Amino acid sequence: MNRVLGYISSFCRLFLGGILLAGGLAKLPDPWFKAVDPQMVETFSVFSFLPLDWIHIYASFLPWLQGAIALALFLGFRIRIASAAAVVMLAGFLIANSLFYSFGIPCACMGQNFLLVLRYAVAFDLVLIAMATWLIVRGDGRKLWVALGKKA
């Protein structure tokens, strides 16, 4: 049974890490020049989630934070801390997507390449929060090389 739970944790780590990495990369229109996605900044400014001066800082920092959390999850480094950071970030996404849904604002959660219908984005946020919460509770997961089928 512990082996099965370990594989569930590994799946959650790799899936959540992959989604966060894809979302972070999609928010950078040109990752080599570290440009900020203008639509993301405009989306945050609609509801004034942050003071206007902070929106560009947040929009510049968010993709890199997503990438750092994804890397920690992929490598199995500080899984509970990375998962807790993911829950906080995903809770913010859930609140934003719920507000956008109620006002009919489109979701560019994963950048322009992968547009989500808002009700699905809200449901997807809930699934990702559940996975991250699983990792906070379980926290062990198998190391990447074990999850890929090799002996440690």
Of 92, 74, 104, nearest to 12 by C-alpha is 74
The yes-or-no verdict on residue 144 having pLDDT over 60 is: no
| pLDDT tens figures, 52-76 | 677 777 777 888 899 999 999 998 8
Task: Please report, for the chain, the start and end positions of each structural domain, with discontinuous segments joined by +.
Answer: 2-147
- The β-bridge partners of 107 are 116
Q: What mean pLDDT is reported for the chain? A: 77
Residue matched to tokens 């928010």: 27
